[in-house]
Structure 1
Amino acid sequence: MNQQLLGGMVSAVFSSSLLLATPTTLAANIPAQLSTLTLEFNQKLDQTIVQLNGELTGINIALADVYTLYRDVLPNEFANSDSECFQGPLSAPTSICNNPDSFIFLDNIHPTSATHSRIADISFAVLDNTVKASVDEVFIFGDSLSDRNNFYSFSNGFVPPTVATGGAFAGTPLYSPGAFTDNLLWWEHLINDLGVSSPVSYYDDVFLNIFPTDPTGGINFAVSGATSGQDNAGNAMNPPFPIDLPGLEDQVTAFTGLFAPAQQANSDALYIIWVGTNNLLGAFSPVTPDNPFAPFSDFTTNAQQPVDDIAAAITILHELGARNFLIGNLFDLGDTRLAAEFEAIRVSTPEPSATPLITFLAALGLGTHGVRKSLKRRQRVRGGVQDQSI
């Protein structure tokens, strides 16, 4: 799996030797299973959005259908639809394309900025005209598809890497600073179309324990690796990222914590929720038995679970005053290089090696001391408060 643990997971400078073999209880052909799960998730999400639009007063939920975009449209628009721009481990890439705009994928799971632009196009198209005319700020909840600077801040500015660090391509640009793409993210294209300002990154000053206290102007809570619950795929690595990273539930909790009793959220704002990838991919992600962040209850082959979590998040935000929502479905996770790499790991069952990642974490100034074993939650950053409970 070269370096990306999915749809938002950490994309660092480690190799596939860091991963354990997937459990033998998993059935064969992971790509096929992920394709089926993607369809199930999208169908259930569509049904849930229809239901919520009918039940919640004054709500307007738009669905951005990237599944159809990836399946039917992008292959006809991009010259390189079946490969990615970066080849090999990011620590020493074996190939880096010089024309990322002709690729759908920048790496084995994350889209190029050109693809992000097309995601923005369909997102803008599905928004109601009244929403387009009235929206004055955006609030974003999600994973690496939408993360700008949040995971980057958790990693002290090392992940995602902006340049290759070794091999023939050392020094060659990789990711745009703070994002798992080569330029603008989809929502950055979108806000240009909407004419609203860029939201601040909630975790931008996480190591200073400084967080936004005023929601005015919009906030991006999205963190790479986030699931729809509390789990984050970055903590499932071997060894795990040492800080308990947020999921969607934590992001929504951080947002609601900004409001005093009886205070209402901006009803003209656009609230974006785009998660689910890491829930499904996490079900096939190798996790060591002694991982101190385990169990990862949000890693699941039950597609209804992340959909229910998304519905719960929408309901909570609606109760606070939010009315305009943009929700995204998932492209076919089985039709990605990462899915193929998961399958290769399952078949080859390599022996894990922790040393490279420990060295990497030490370089971040994090080490492994940030992890302490407990029943589940440790050092969770929630709205500037570290939860030390076990």
Structure 2
Amino acid sequence: GVSKIRVAGAEDHALKVWARNFGNQKRIAWTIGRIENFVTVFNSGYPVLCTLVIFATLVQVQTAAAAEGGGEPITTGSFIAFNSAFGAFLGAMLGLSRASMSMLAVVPIWERLKPILLTPPELSEDRMFPGELTGQIDLYHVNFRYDPEGPLILQNVSLSIRPGEFVAFVGPSGSGKSTLLRVLLGFEIPESGKVFYDGQDLQTLDLREVRQRLGVVLQTSRLAPTTIFQNIIGPNTSLTIDDAWAAAEGSGLADDVRGMPMGMQTVISEGGGTFSGGQKQRLMIARAIVNRPRILFFDEATSALDNQTQKTVSDSLDAMHATRIVIAHRLSTIANADRIVVLVKGRVMEDGTYDELIKLNGHFAELARRQVA
């Protein structure tokens, strides 16, 4: 946004980039307008020009025929009939040219729409209802890449996560952690392998129903420009203000909300600019836990929280006994995880508790040493 440009002191550069793009847009628009004007003028003058050419040709032919003393003269009626037929043909051709211009304008629109129109819809009548999920998640030999010609982002990932288990995924940037989360949510389809919820293949389930049974906080999650209450309960209109307060207590946000003049009815501005990073994360955590789901997915959901608030959130999540899959870079936040899975270049390299992986002195131990240093 504008604030980032100001912080970087890049106002002049941003203006140059905008001016260049704006100039390119206007240049293309001017070129298109010039072509359209030419076609309009051409379509207006072409029928008259053709009529004059035909008339001149007929006069020349008649003159030549008269000079040679042969041939039958073309009558006025014949000329009018021919000219009318030719005019109809010419009108059709001009209409075709106008249609061609309209078709050319559709090409870039089609290119932008093609990925959406060609993507198989998630909703289908043959998708099965998942039922109430217990929290068992299994991955079998999952491989995934974004580009058919690109490298594998996930390579032969196989995991079994028990109900109520707290599993953390760690690894260097670009190791496939967030991609794995997208696969688990059904946003991406594996190139090969399967994902199962309670023994049910995710690709055979109604994804909307599955996601309604999950609590999710992504790195890209945003707050809606509405009240805190509406942000917490989301589309579930059966939830009450007491449910919202309970979720706020669990996320460590309740005291902040009580300190606001309008409490739960405080309106969040567009983009949530009046909330700190920690408040935004706690509000999104409250939104994720308000329905008390059996499965929680957190992608760097507590990176902006202080230690005390982090403990409050952890204690609340422990009390839910839900399956937790957490992506974290701050290793201190996952020290009490039941399992820590280390991903390196899309492969599961290590799997164990915090103490076990430290003793292993492998990739995880190296990550821990870097953070301590």
Q: TM-score, normalised by structure 1?
A: 0.23
Q: Which has the higher helix share?
A: 2
Larger Rg: 2
* Greater RCO, 1 or 2 (C-alpha within 8 Å, sep 6+): 1
